[in-house]
Amino acid sequence: MTSGSARLLLSGYYGFDNFGDEAILRVFVEQWRRRRPADSITVLSATPARTAAAYEVESVPRMAHALVAKAIAASDVFVSGGGGLLQSSTSLRSLLYYTGLIHEAKSAGRRAAIFAQGIGPLGFTAKHVVRRACARVDLAIVRDAASASLLQELLPRVEVRIGADPVFLADLEVGAPAERTLAAEGISGAGALVAVVVRPSRTLERIASEIARAVDLIATKYGAQVVFVPFQRPDDVEAAVSIIRRCRTAPLLLGGGYDLATMSALLARCTAIIGMRLHSLILAAKLAVPFIAVAYDPKITALCENLGYPLAPLSPGTSQEALAQVWSTHDALAARLSEGAARQAALAAQSFDWLAGFVEGPKS
């Protein structure tokens, strides 16, 4: 397209104070400016003023149709992602929103890319929506093989490539402000610590008692402090409270709302992590902290497969054995995660290189 500057319009679940999606956006901006510093980036956001200030980008209210249409018309390339946007488990309305933007961008004659996404789950109607709305997308880069297979089936004329989540490229350098925040939350530098990250879902309802049992075992058998960490408030707070009420011990519920540096400082302090949120597990992998996954969504299983992680996700009746494995094979699990995270980081970097090449266009 251009060896000079280009105007990118980025769509995702931005501006909702979801830690994972905000981390994706931060890494996207950092990585893009390293590759193409002359480009302008505009982000569709639920809180455009905050997004603009936090990431030093232009931002447009995501639901203001006239302003969104104007931003599409002013862009050179429309980028949908990253994250889990093309799925119908949240709602069909959400899927219609994200696919509608892709369709509108193509109808306006703009180039469009699906970037760093996990695809699915998709029901019958949702597959039809993706097939029709995204048929003319120019490039698709997804996070795992299952997503690639599903999207290629729906969009046979689109080039689908397998990359990795951008957060595998996050700079996790921890500074003094992050350490002070943790100290204010009551997290000391001594003793074993385990973080638990849960989110509302039907899976949580089925496995709540098992997570509570694991929390009690961690405190009583292994002598570790347990903290619940909200990745998106207030939803994760309510989910955490529903588990804490089942516990015989007294785990701590943290305030949340942390930036990437503070969250990294917290998870780096941990001996282990029990995680439902995808990006709690991605950070654990980057920090080589063994985890027990709670697979509420196929993307969790896909991540474990991508990492080559040998410990199975938590299921009813398995907490005692899983915790024993974490403690007895801790160093081996940490090494496996370090190796897997390095492979995923290389794929994430390749994803950005592919997207940059797409924006630049064919060499003349």
Q: Which pLDDT does position 362 carry in this prediction?
A: 73
Closest alpha carbon to 214 in 277, 275, 138: 275
Distances (CA, A) of 137 to 55, 99, 130, 310: 27, 10, 11, 36
Q: Say yes or no: 115 and 186 in one domain.
A: no
Q: Say yes or no: 113 and 84 in one domain.
A: yes
Distances (CA, A) of 101 to 12, 58, 304: 11, 18, 31
pTM: 0.95
Q: Say yes or no: 284 and 231 in one domain.
A: yes
Question: Does 1 reside within a domain?
Answer: no
Rounded CA-CA distance 90/82 in Å is 16
Q: Which pLDDT does position 178 carry in this prediction?
A: 72
Q: Say yes or no: 132 and 221 in one domain.
A: no
Q: Which pLDDT does position 191 carry in this prediction?
A: 83
Q: Which pLDDT does position 181 carry in this prediction?
A: 77
Structural contact between residues 10 and 41, judged by C-beta atoms closer than 8 angstroms? yes
Closest alpha carbon to 294 in 282, 281, 283: 281
Tally the domains of the chain.
2
Structural contact between residues 195 and 227, judged by C-beta atoms closer than 8 angstroms? yes
Rounded CA-CA distance 271/225 in Å is 10
Question: Does 266 reside within a domain?
Answer: yes
Q: Say yes or no: 183 and 154 in one domain.
A: no
Q: Which pLDDT does position 3 carry in this prediction?
A: 59
Residues above pLDDT 70, as percent of the chain:
97
Question: Does 264 reside within a domain?
Answer: yes
Question: Does 362 reside within a domain?
Answer: no
Q: Say yes or no: 127 and 189 in one domain.
A: no
Q: Say yes or no: 199 and 334 in one domain.
A: yes
Question: Does 297 reside within a domain?
Answer: yes
The whole-number average pLDDT for the span 341-347 is 98
**186: pLDDT confidence band, cut at 50, 70 and 90?**
confident
Q: Say yes or no: 210 and 340 in one domain.
A: yes
Residues above pLDDT 90, as percent of the chain:
90
Residue 1 has pLDDT above 50, yes or no: no
Q: What is the mean pLDDT of the chain?
A: 95
Residue 349 has pLDDT above 70, yes or no: yes
Residue 97: Cβ-neighbour burial (10 angstroms; 0-12, 13-18, 19+): middle
pLDDT 10s digits, 153-185: 999 999 999 999 999 999 887 667 777 877 888
Structural contact between residues 291 and 274, judged by C-beta atoms closer than 8 angstroms? yes
Note down the domain range covering 197.
176-344
Residue 363 has pLDDT above 70, yes or no: no
pLDDT 10s digits, 292-339: 999 999 999 999 999 999 999 999 999 999 999 999 999 999 999 999
Q: Say yes or no: 57 and 122 in one domain.
A: yes
Q: Say yes or no: 156 and 197 in one domain.
A: no
Choose the final residue of a domain: 135, 162, 189: 162
Question: Does 19 reside within a domain?
Answer: yes
Q: Say yes or no: 113 and 197 in one domain.
A: no
Choose the final residue of a domain: 130, 162, 194: 162
CA angle 40, 43, 49 (to 5 degrees): 105
**Which tokens hold the place of 50?**
């905050």
Q: What's 56's DSSP letter?
A: T
pLDDT 10s digits, 119-144: 999 999 999 999 999 999 999 999 99
Q: Say yes or no: 187 and 91 in one domain.
A: no
pLDDT 10s digits, 255-276: 999 999 899 989 999 999 999 9
Q: Domain of 77: which CATH number?
A: 3.40.50.2000
Question: Does 167 reside within a domain?
Answer: no
**364: pLDDT confidence band, cut at 50, 70 and 90?**
very low
Question: Does 269 reside within a domain?
Answer: yes
